[in-house]
Amino acid sequence: MKILYVCHRFPFPPKRGGKIRPFNMIRHFSKSHEVTVCSLARSGDEAAEGRGIAPHCKAFDMVTVGPFAQSLRMVARLPSRTPSSMGYFWSPELAAKIRARLDAEAFDLIFVHCSSVAQYVEDVTGIPKILDFGDMDSQKWLEYADSKPKPLAWGYLLEGRKMLAEEKRLAAKFDVCTATTRAEWETLESYRTGVASDWFPNGVDADYFAPDATEWDPDTLTFVGRMDYYPNQECMFDFCRTVFPLIRARRPAAKLLIVGADPIPAVRALGKIDGVTVTGSVPDVRPYLRRSAAMVAPLHIARGTQNKILEAMAMGVPVVTSSKAAGGVDATAAEHFLVADKPNEIADACLRLMTDPAERRRLSEAGRARMLTHHAWDRSMQRLDGIVAGCIERFRSGRDGPRTSPR
């Protein structure tokens, strides 16, 4: 089967959330099919790295775009019904390359990851098409609106409402739509588009993210995540303001490592707090996680699956997270990880892991075991194979079959 795969960020190397899911799909598809990848790079460096995808696909079309042109495309959509996000991911050059591919080759399936690039193939007919929303972006923008000050909040509210309408419109242009988690699937189903839908989870490379003999430090907590991403920033601002002082009051030697690329100045300023270190980009996050008593991720804004949680649990590092972030992980609170939302409850959970080696060991072992059974890429890809087979069968039969029900 020949597959045209379109995604919003060039999916190699798979070092960040927006690249991990599509890369694993492409790698899986390529074992049995011919895959052509079409996507965008944001810089020359990203483009150079991206060419490493060659062994994992038959062919690829990459277009490098700059921030100035993409920002103008976003602004141009402000007075229209089209979300600005769609402008950010639009490239006339990439559109031309995709049209040329479709004119020159007979594809058996078009697979799109992320609604912002569905615009490139929304009007293509005669080929079965799947749109993997991953996360429902409209809901993220609406959550931003609740946490941002006015008038900025109004901008996010407008974008969220426009994106919601666009998600509903685009879903109807595809044969099957998918999401990352059951919760995201339920949001998709609430749109009542009449289009078949399902979900398949993110996985984790449990061989790469694995425990080793590193001794953990009972005084160290770690947060891992890109620090140019607002939900991560907001999480750490709040943690350092409301939770970390409670921990330090009871454990004066406690340390917090904030590990992640591109911290903005306000995040770097957190490093002035006694006990807090902001590392910036590091070549490998695993040494930081392995020596931690716990990985903290009490995010207030969280859609889909937080890969940072999967990776920590796979490494046998206990996780303290929020109920919102926990919803994207197929695991049970208190059994596989700790879930808390109020500052005193988060502090208590962290201190429990810092002071009780037996409890840390229990969650370490249970968390990794859960990742091996419920967040393995091979099992997720088996679900995806079933979704693809159902889509093609439905398309070939020329009828609307029953909805693909979640399992």
Task: Tell me the three-class secondary structure of 103-133, residue by residue.
Answer: HHCCCCEEEEECHHHHHHCCCCCCCCEEEEE
Judge whether 208 lies within some domain. Answer: no
Q: 136 and 57 share a domain?
A: yes
Q: The domain that contains 143 carries what CATH number?
A: 3.40.50.2000
The per-residue pLDDT string of the chain (407 residues; one tens digit each, 9 = 90 and over) reads 999 999 999 999 998 878 999 999 999 999 999 999 999 999 999 999 999 999 999 999 999 999 999 999 999 999 999 999 999 999 999 999 999 999 999 999 999 999 999 999 999 999 999 999 999 999 999 998 988 888 889 999 999 999 999 999 999 999 999 999 999 999 999 999 999 999 999 999 999 999 999 999 999 999 999 999 999 999 999 999 999 999 999 999 999 999 999 999 999 999 999 999 999 999 999 999 999 999 999 999 988 889 999 999 999 999 999 999 999 999 999 999 999 999 999 999 999 999 999 999 999 999 999 999 999 999 999 999 999 999 999 999 885 444 443 44
Q: 196 and 244 share a domain?
A: no
Q: 17 and 116 share a domain?
A: yes
Give the C-alpha separation, 20 to 25, whole Å: 9
Q: 368 and 388 share a domain?
A: no
Q: What does the pLDDT read at residue 337?
A: 98
CA within 13 Å, CB half, 286: 16
Q: 289 and 253 share a domain?
A: yes
Give how many domains the chain has, as a whole number. 2
Q: What does the pLDDT read at residue 161?
A: 96
Structure tokens at 145: 């609106």
Cα 284 from chain centroid (whole Å): 19
Q: 250 and 336 share a domain?
A: yes
Judge whether 263 lies within some domain. Answer: yes
Q: 280 and 332 share a domain?
A: yes
Q: Which residue has the tokens 């999480």?
A: 235
Judge whether 407 lies within some domain. Answer: no
Torsion over CA of 205, 36, 65 and 25, rounded to 10 degrees?
-20
Continuous H helices in 34-76: 44-50, 67-76
Q: What does the pLDDT read at residue 146?
A: 87
Q: 46 and 191 share a domain?
A: yes
Judge whether 405 lies within some domain. Answer: no
Q: 78 and 120 share a domain?
A: yes
Q: 331 and 383 share a domain?
A: no
Cα angle, residue 50 at apex, residues 311 and 306 outer, rounded to 5°: 25
Q: Provide Rg for the chain, Cα atoms.
A: 22
Judge whether 308 lies within some domain. Answer: yes
Domain that holds residue 44: 2-203+376-397
Q: What does the pLDDT read at residue 402?
A: 40
Q: 279 and 248 share a domain?
A: yes
Give the C-alpha separation, 337 to 328, whole Å: 13
Q: 34 and 172 share a domain?
A: yes
Judge whether 210 lies within some domain. Answer: no
Judge whether 209 lies within some domain. Answer: no
Judge whether 212 lies within some domain. Answer: no
pTM exceeding the 0.85 threshold for the entire prediction: yes
Give the C-alpha separation, 297 to 308, whole Å: 8
